[in-house]
Amino acid sequence: MSEAPDTSQELSEVLEDLRRHLLWQEEDGGRFLQVDARLAAELRGAGLARLRAQAAKPAPSVAAQPAPAAQPPPAERPMPPRAPPPEPERPLAARAPEPPPARREAPASRLIEAPAQPRPLVGPLPGVVEGERPTLDEIRRELGDCRRCKLCDGRKNIVFGSGNPRAELVFVGEGPGADEDAQGVPFVGAAGQLLTKMIEAMGYRRDDVYICNVVKCRPPNNRNPEPDEVAACEPFLRAQLQAVRPKAIVALGKFAAQTLLRDSTPITRMRGTWREYEGIKLMPTFHPAYLLRQPAEKKKAWEDLQQVMKFFGKQPGQRG
């Protein structure tokens, strides 16, 4: 409980302040004293009345304080919506990185499948020790009784290759036919007989050159080799070429040319122009089987072979 104010003491203090004020104004003299004296009397009368009223009023107590008015229950008193407090600014290090913008997918009408790219030359070659020149015998032993693709199911013999293991000229065909599958030797059927004549017209004997195919087993019904079959056999073809190390290669037909060059250009456009395979000159030309079906194209094939002869400095029919 608070104490009542001492009214007599406060009145004395007011009168004392008033007296000092009057004395200060008296020093200045004149009309200021008269005006201030009248104002002081009015102030004194008002101050005494206010002090008497305060003295007569009882001091408030805690017990006598009126109880606060009853407030309606929270459910009945509407509350204004309160805005959520602003999120405190976090240091840059604590901020989570913003997710990258969503990738916009191209419309279905513009999704065009990219053309197939050539397979890279990767992995070790079978039967080849790095830094050493392999032999054809080592590669053939590595090939073994090959079961690396489905062509093994219908073959009679693996047709590996034949000829001079150190030949300066190699002929690469597509795959063995029925006669080759039966004998296990490349190019012994009708197409092989034509190839033998072509080789001799160039001034070579068949034993002077090396002959092999992209795939070593006959495709059923002499169909074209399929990509998985080419992929299974190609490492052995590359190993054979690394073992022989010829100065030039004649690729017979599109499968041989496209496999070695990794170029899908049609053979009709590719033939007759020197290309290169791992530093070796390569001449694409028509396959002998195609020439049997299209005899008029033999002239173009002969023109291609003449460029190979010129490369070796040979004349038609010249041996040695």
Residue 119: φ, ψ to 5°: -70, 135
Instruction: Please report the pLDDT score of residue 7 as a whole number.
Output: 59
Most trustworthy range by pLDDT among 7-11, 63-67, 294-298: 294-298
Does the pLDDT at position 153 exceed 70? yes
pLDDT value of residue 128: 72
Does position 96 have pLDDT exceeding 60, yes or no? Answer: no
Evaluate whether 244 touches 210 at the Cβ level (below 8 Å): yes
| 13-22, 80-89, 100-109, 238-247, range with greatest mean pLDDT | 238-247
Report the chain's mean pLDDT, rounded to a whole number. Answer: 78
Q: How far is CA 275 from CA 251, 263, 278, 284, in A?
A: 10, 11, 10, 8
Q: What is the mean pLDDT of residues 18-32?
A: 53
Percent of the chain with pLDDT over 90: 57
Q: Are strands 162-163 and 210-213 parallel, antiparallel or unpaired?
A: antiparallel
Q: What percent of the chain has pLDDT over 70?
A: 61
The pLDDT value recorded for residue 257 is: 98
**pTM, rounded to two decimals:** 0.62
pLDDT for residue 130:
77
Q: Give the CA distances from residue 139 to residues 18, 123, 176, 310, in Å, rounded to whole numbers and listed in that order.
A: 129, 15, 19, 32
Q: Which helix (H) or strand (E) holds 251?
A: strand 248-252
Return the pLDDT at 32. 42
Residue whose C-alpha is closest to residue 210's, from 158, 259, 247: 247
Distance of CA 238 to the CA centre of its chain: 31
Q: How confident is the model at residue 138 (pLDDT cuts 50, 70, 90)?
A: very high
Helix (H, G, I), strand (E, B) or coil at 212: strand
Q: φ and ψ at 251, to 5 degrees?
A: -90, 115
Whole-angstrom distance, CA of residue 226 vs CA of residue 233: 11
CB 278 within 8 A of CB 312: no
pLDDT classification of 145: cutoffs 50, 70, 90: very high
**What does the pLDDT read at residue 141?**
97
* Cβ atoms of residues 270 and 263 within 8 Å: yes
Q: Is 249 helix (H, G, I), strand (E, B) or coil?
A: strand
As a whole number, mean pLDDT of residues 248-277 equals 97
Q: Which of 299, 109, 272, 56 is nearest to 201 (CA)?
A: 299
**pLDDT band, residue 31 (cuts 50/70/90):** very low
